[in-house]
Amino acid sequence: MKFEKYHGIGNDYLVYDCQKNTEELDGEMIRRVCDRNFGVGSDGILAGPYIEDGEFAVRVFNPDGSEAKRAGNGIRIFAKYLKDAGYTLSERLNIRTKGGKVQVRFLNADGTRIQADMGKLSFSSKEAGLAGEPREALEEKMVFGQNSYDCSCVSMGNTHCVIPMMEISREKVCKIGAFSERSEYFEDRVNTQIMKVLDKNNIQIEIFERGVGYTLASGTSSCAAAGVAFRLGLADSDVMVHMPGGKLWIQIDEDWRVKMTGSVQSVCRIEMTEDFLRFEP
């Protein structure tokens, strides 16, 4: 069983090439491989390329074994993998995900800088995975643990809960995320971002991901936070999103289509040992 490790501004993924591997990648194996002490360690696994109607498709798995509909850093990583592994020579390509199609464009020859057209943001509560009456969930009071927060929920193919705040930190988002991720406000869990607006063109976020926990960066979270900041009049449609791992440039057009631009890097190739594969708990 072989993987290739990449990261997008510190959000690390293992690519599992389903055309080259034969072993089954079940929930148990995903949890063990992603474990940072007992396995390789990663924020998730990108499995593919699957071919659907002549287009590439990818599946995104979280380290807890659950499947995600989308990953913004994951899409850029997978695009670079397709280039590195010789699956494509094109400058542009479409990649299908469970959360919709993404168009990616390589901005340089080695594929380390990529722009992705992520499709449309949606503020519909249904698409944002919220329980209850259909509505736009903007600045809704939600209680996580002992405290109440003003939350704006949005879908970027996957679901997000964005909380603007004056000061943000890793500790704060972990405290909130411990309750928000599995809160009953959401039908199938949620990704959480706390957001500090620096100025009209710069926002800063800390992230607690669904099925992952704290991460240094997240592409779809950046799109969601930028979308909420723009929608609430806190920022312009063109913003740099600053995260502990680095930054992503987000542009939103009049139809709420979102473009995300940022870097990716390959890290290493990994082959799991017989020992690891044989292991029985």
Residues within the annotated binding site? 11, 62, 72-73, 158, 191, 209-210, 219-220
Q: Least CB distance from residue 105 to ligand API, whole Å?
A: 18
Binding flag, residue 158, ligand API (CB under 6 A): yes
Which range in 22-30, 70-78, 238-246, 268-276 contacts ligand API by CB under 6 A?
70-78
Binding flag, residue 209, ligand API (CB under 6 A): yes
Binding flag, residue 263, ligand API (CB under 6 A): no
From its phi and psi, is residue 197 left (phi > 0), alpha (psi between -120 and 50) or beta? Answer: beta
Binding flag, residue 71, ligand API (CB under 6 A): yes
Binding flag, residue 193, ligand API (CB under 6 A): no
Binding flag, residue 83, ligand API (CB under 6 A): no
User: Which residues lie below 8 Å from residue 174, measured CB to CB, with a gap of 6+?
Assistant: 208, 213, 214
User: 13 near 74, Cβ under 8 Å?
Assistant: yes
DSSP 8-state assignment for residue 34: H
Report the distance separating Cα 149 and Cα 147, nearest Å.
Answer: 7
The smaller minimum CB distance to ligand API, of residues 168 and 276, is found at 168
Binding flag, residue 183, ligand API (CB under 6 A): no
Binding flag, residue 14, ligand API (CB under 6 A): no
Number of neighbours of residue 153 by Cβ within 10 angstroms: 27
24's tokens: 């089954």
The smaller minimum CB distance to ligand API, of residues 88 and 159, is found at 159
Binding flag, residue 129, ligand API (CB under 6 A): no
Candidate residues 121, 161, 212, 252; the one interacting with ligand API per rule CB under 6 A: 212
Binding flag, residue 115, ligand API (CB under 6 A): no
Binding flag, residue 181, ligand API (CB under 6 A): no
141's tokens: 């009071």
77's tokens: 């990583």
Phi, psi (rounded to 5 degrees) for 225: -65, -45
The smaller minimum CB distance to ligand API, of residues 27 and 199, is found at 27
Q: Which helix (H) or strand (E) holds 77?
A: helix 72-84
Annotated binding site for substrate: 11, 62, 72-73, 158, 191, 209-210, 219-220
The smaller minimum CB distance to ligand API, of residues 59 and 210, is found at 210
Where in 38-57 is the site for ligand API (CB under 6 A)? Answer: 43
Report the distance separating Cα 215 and Cα 200, nearest Å.
Answer: 25
Q: Return the SS3 of 229.
A: helix
Q: Least CB distance from residue 132 to ligand API, whole Å?
A: 20
Candidate residues 49, 63, 72, 119; the one interacting with ligand API per rule CB under 6 A: 72
Report the distance separating Cα 76 and Cα 84, nearest Å.
Answer: 12
Q: Return the SS3 of 177.
A: helix
Q: Least CB distance from residue 157 to ligand API, whole Å?
A: 8
- HEC-encoded secondary structure of 83-121: HHCCCCCCCEEEEEECCEEEEEEECCCCCCEEEEEEEEC
| Nearest Cα residue to 119 out of 204, 44, 224 | 224
Residues that bind ligand API (CB under 6 A): 11, 43, 62, 68, 71-74, 158, 191, 209-212, 215, 218-221
